[in-house]
Amino acid sequence: MINFIEISKKFKTDFWTQYFWALENVSFEIAEGHIIGFLGANGAGKTTLIKILMGLIKTSSGRVEFSTKLGKNQKEVFSNMGLLPERPYFYPHLTGNEFIYYLGSLNNVSKIDLKQRINYWAERFKITHALERKLKTYSKGMLQRLGFISTIIHNPKMVILDEPLSGLDPIGRKEIKDSIVEINKEGRTVFFSSHIVPDVEEICKRVVFLEKGTLLYDGQIDHLIEKNMKPNYQIKYYANDEIITQEIPIVEKEEFLKKIINNNQKIISVEKLRPSLEEILYNIKTK
């Protein structure tokens, strides 16, 4: 759907300093219909890449190619995309309704459709009561929810979310994550940028991992985990009224289990050790 081809971007903080590379030869593809996690530590270059994608800044080299399914020209492409930037600031004196009508009107959504969609999503995020209030009275979580609504109000084919869960309480995080999965099931492609690995692991099948402006991994999360599986088993059992957890190499598993049974101890679980995505990415990063 979107192809990043050898994207590089250099910045200069001021006239006297040297250039630094925020992105170096980053190439990957956002495939249609998936939720793609875009991971990287703070300052890895995620937001810079999103800004390049939306034409807000220019590349130093490389290009972004859009599939014709998104549109034939920039106007059509942007009609089919929705962006929720990181920590967005909203017009404090507009009401929630006015803000969404403003953005919806820019996407040529009719007033009737806007009303229906606002009602649905506001109810879903429990902010219906606040829609006529000025945005300066909203809490951070309410603003984030409103931002999410405004991002999808025009039913885009592709949704780009830059740290959409930041500043949300656990309930808010779950609501947004569920909504991301829901809009994906409806057929929308989601590009989900975050520096919180478990969030990405929870809802994405594919991940793009950026570190200091360089692409370190692009592929399925399952493949990455399978590849990094430890050759160990974790065995939990009761012994002397205590739960004991032990890590055993595969070759010693059978013998160890026999020993437990012979000692009349009760086995609780036998699991192959599965590293978390966070551990794997940390290892990739430090290699």
Partner 1 sequence: MNDINDFCYKCYVVFKYTFFEIIKSKVLMNVFLLGLGLLLICYIAYSFTYGVPERVVLDVGLGMLSLSSVGMAIFFGVGLISKEIENRTIYMILSRPISRKAFLLGRIMGMVGVLILNILILSVLTLVLYVFLGGSIQSLILISIFFSIIEAIIVLLIVVFFSLITNPTLSVIYTVVVYIIGHSISDTMINGFAKKSVIISSILNVYSVIFPNFNKLNLKDLILYKQYLPFTTFCGITTYGLVYMLFLIFITSIIFERKNLD
> Which residues contact partner 1 (rule: CB under 8 A)?
11, 48, 51, 54-58, 75-76, 78-79, 81-94, 98, 102-103, 105-108, 134, 147, 150-151, 154, 160
User: Which token pair is 51?
Assistant: 């800004």
Q: 58 vs 129, which CB is nearer to partner 1?
A: 58
State the minimum distance, in angstroms, from the CB of residue 83 to partner 1: 4
> What is the per-residue DSSP string for 1-19?
-EEEEEEEEEE-SSTTSPP
Q: Rounded CA gap, 44 and 197, in Å? A: 14
Q: Return the SS3 of 237.
A: strand
State the minimum distance, in angstroms, from the CB of residue 147 to partner 1: 7
Q: 21 vs 256, which CB is nearer to partner 1?
A: 21
Q: 36 vs 260, which CB is nearer to partner 1?
A: 36
Contact between 205 and 277 (Cβ < 8 Å): no
Contact between 204 and 192 (Cβ < 8 Å): yes
- Strand-pairing partners, residue 22, are none
State the minimum distance, in angstroms, from the CB of residue 94 to partner 1: 6
Contact between 35 and 202 (Cβ < 8 Å): no
State the minimum distance, in angstroms, from the CB of residue 283 to partner 1: 32
User: Which token pair is 10?
Assistant: 């250099």
H/E run at residue 262:
helix 253-262
Q: 102 vs 282, which CB is nearer to partner 1?
A: 102
State the minimum distance, in angstroms, from the CB of residue 176 to partner 1: 17
CA 244 to chain CA centroid, nearest Å: 36
Q: 148 vs 217, which CB is nearer to partner 1?
A: 148
Q: 17 vs 240, which CB is nearer to partner 1?
A: 17
**Helical spans, DSSP H, in 128-196:** 140-152, 170-185
State the minimum distance, in angstroms, from the CB of residue 271 to partner 1: 44
Q: 78 vs 125, which CB is nearer to partner 1?
A: 78
Dihedral of alpha carbons 124, 125, 127, 129, sign: positive
Q: Rounded CA gap, 256 and 244, in Å? A: 13
Task: Please state, as a whole number, how many other Cβ atoms lie within 10 Å of the Cβ of residue 198.
Answer: 10
Task: Please state, as a whole number, how many other Cβ atoms lie within 10 Å of the Cβ of residue 107.
Answer: 17
State the minimum distance, in angstroms, from the CB of residue 112 to partner 1: 17
